[in-house]
Amino acid sequence: MSVSRPKSNARLFGRAMRRGGRRFARRRISGTLLARRRGQATLDYALVMGIVVPLAIVCFWFVPRIMQSVYDMSCVVWGWPFP
């Protein structure tokens, strides 16, 4: 029994498709159709620099203040009945 192979590699390795003016390359891996997105690393870099880093800076600024406030309130609550 012979195994029939596709006549071209377009089915296995994908072909460029036009969608909305952009080119998406698609390929089939173990029955799953995957789309490779160009420029994804740039978007990840923008996400890190624009959202994650400022959020980390704000957290590093707020955490010591919050810890100090919790410590002060704990001292007030524990020391209140004993003036």
Residue 8 has pLDDT above 60, yes or no: no
Are 27 and 13 in contact, with CB atoms under 8 Å apart?
yes
Query: For residue 26, how many other CB atoms are within 10 A of its CB?
Result: 14
Q: Is 28 helix (H, G, I), strand (E, B) or coil?
A: strand
Task: Please report which residue ranges of 1-83 form alpha helices under DSSP H.
Answer: 10-13, 40-47, 53-79
Model confidence over 18-35: pLDDT tens digits?
455 555 555 555 555 455
Record the pTM. Answer: 0.40
Measuring CA to CA, which residue among 41, 42, 34 is closest to residue 17? 34
